[in-house]
Amino acid sequence: MASVYKGRRVFKTGPGMIWVFVALTGLFALAAWMTYRDRGWHWVSIGLAGATVILGLGSIIESLVLRIELTDDAMVVTELTGRKRYAKTDIDRIGEAKGTPAALLLKNGRWVKLPSVGSDLGNSVRAWKKT
């Protein structure tokens, strides 16, 4: 039987944020190259090169992997650390406040923080729960 819910099902980092991460990574790489060219391997160029690899490439990879999917019977949260599945029947409600990522309140009373993927997740989850 097909699901009644016809709203948005997949939430992930938008292309605008990915381009911001790419631009910042390029900026760190350019700064590392400029300081290396000027003074050789100095603590500044080593730090900027490390920031390029760890922070820059890490943020790009994380933003490409991160997603929340609403299936017919569960919410699937995919992060770098793995995939977690929350059954629709185990979810009590979703809580959200301005400036903070959404969180799920499970029926057992436990709060689960959700990754930040967009501003319309809460409304979509509430509509999905009603179906």
Q: Pick from 2, 47, 3: which is nearest to 29 by CA?
A: 47
What pairs with residue 130 in β-bridges?
Answer: none
User: How many other CB atoms sit within 10 Å of the CB of residue 9?
Assistant: 14
**N-term to C-term CA, the chain:** 13
What residue spans define the domains of the chain?
10-65, 68-130
Pairing of strands 10-12, 67-70: antiparallel
- 31, containing H or E segment: helix 15-39
Tens of pLDDT, residue by residue over 94-112, are 998 888 888 999 999 999 9
Lowest mean pLDDT among 59-68, 82-91, 122-131: 122-131
What's the whole-model pTM score?
0.80
